[in-house]
Structure formats: C-alpha cells, structure tokens
Amino acid sequence: MDYITIGAPAQTSFIEKKSEFIGYLSPVRTNEEAVDFINQIKSEHRKAKHHVYAYLLRDSNITRYSDDGEPQGTAGVPVLEVLRKRELTDVCCVVVRYFGGILLGGGGLVRAYSHSASITCDSAQIQHICESTPLTLRMDYTLYGKVTYCLPKYGVLELNSDFNTDVLLDLLVRNEVLDDLKAELTELSGGKIQMQCGMPSYADFSSVLK
C-alpha cells in the first residue's frame, strides 16, 4: 500500500505573544522510536513548560497524542489533525512551548499549535512511498523515441540508460500501473521490446508524483 511520510527530521519555530513554539518532525517506524524521539526532545528542552506531541504509525495503525498540560483538546489534537490532513504516516511531531507569560486562550492555543505543526510539515522533505517493481527494457534505437514519449504519463523513475548495440533502460514502475505500461509498450513496438521485471520493493516517487 502506498503512503506519504518524510525523509528526514525537520524543525521550525515562531513567537506568538512572547511564547516560543518550536516544532519538530521526525520519521519513525515503531512506537518505541516515537517514544524515544519524544523523550529526546523533552531532554533537550527541560525548561520548557509544554512538550505537546502527536504521531501516526502504519505498524498496528497506532495513533497517539498528548496535550502535556495544555487545556484538553487545544494542543495534541490540533497537531494530530495537521498530520492527518497532510496524509502523513510513520511520523512524530513534537511542539515545544516556552511560555511567555501571556495567556492565548483556547482558540489561540489551537491556532498556535496547528501553525507550528503546519510550518514544520512545510519544511520537511515529503516522500510518496509506493510499492514498485524494477523493469528493464531492451529495444532497437528506432523505438526509443516512442518509448520516451510514453513513459512520463506512467510516472516512472528512470534509474539508468545504456546506449550500445541496443537501447537499455532500467526503470522503477509503480505496481498499480505496471501491467498497463507493459501492455502499451508491447502494442507500440509490436512486441519487439524485451522486458524483464525484478523483485518488488518500496521506493520514493515524490519527484514524479506531484
């Protein structure tokens, strides 16, 4: 199953009525990794008043969040909702708040924590992970133009190309379009393209899936 996650940790901060909100977002795969990340941020900001967090995992479909002392529903849930709206999974977001002495009220807190989570997601390296299969194509030079015209609509990743006696293309193709692509290549070449599939795996297709 395809899913959206991030490729590396991200961090942002902003000030709202003298309170500093520092957002952290990290890729995590297990509940243990999420808890370790939360504890790491807490240890780095021992003097902060609140360490609000939310995380979602594909593993066992786990979802967790905490207001960490903020009024119920004003912190953890808004952060979680941002992650859900971005359709992110296998991620943990922690928002650290250094209280500035001015109360923000319930609505102000919701907006501040949502904004922190949102700008941190904006700064992250988003990955669209898809189940895919390596596909090697061997063809005559006369077919190369037709093939390169066909490939973009299937959102494939080109891994390597070799122009020798024949043209050799190494592609990574999402499983959901693999059969359709092979059928079109067979039709446009009259069955003259040699195709060899590798072992399925997961890969990031964010560069071709906008």
pLDDT 10s digits, 147-193 = 999 999 999 999 999 999 999 999 999 999 999 999 999 999 999 99
- What CATH number is attached to the domain comprising 150? 3.30.70.240
Q: Give me the pLDDT at residue 140, please.
A: 95
Residue 209: the pLDDT is 85
Last residue in a domain, options 102, 124, 146: 124
Tokens representing 60 are 């066992």
70 neighbors 118 (Cβ within 8 angstroms) = no
For the chain, which residues score pLDDT lower than 70?
none
* DSSP per-residue string spanning 86-111: TTB-SEEEEEEEE--S---HHHHHHH
- The parent domain of residue 107 ranges over 3-124
Predicted local confidence at residue 64, as pLDDT? 97
pLDDT for 1: 81
**This prediction's pTM:** 0.87
Q: Are 54 and 70 in contact (CB under 8 A)?
A: no
Residue 209 domain-assigned?
no
Which residue's entry shows tokens 């849930």?
77
Instruction: Let me know whether 99 and 155 are in one domain.
Output: no
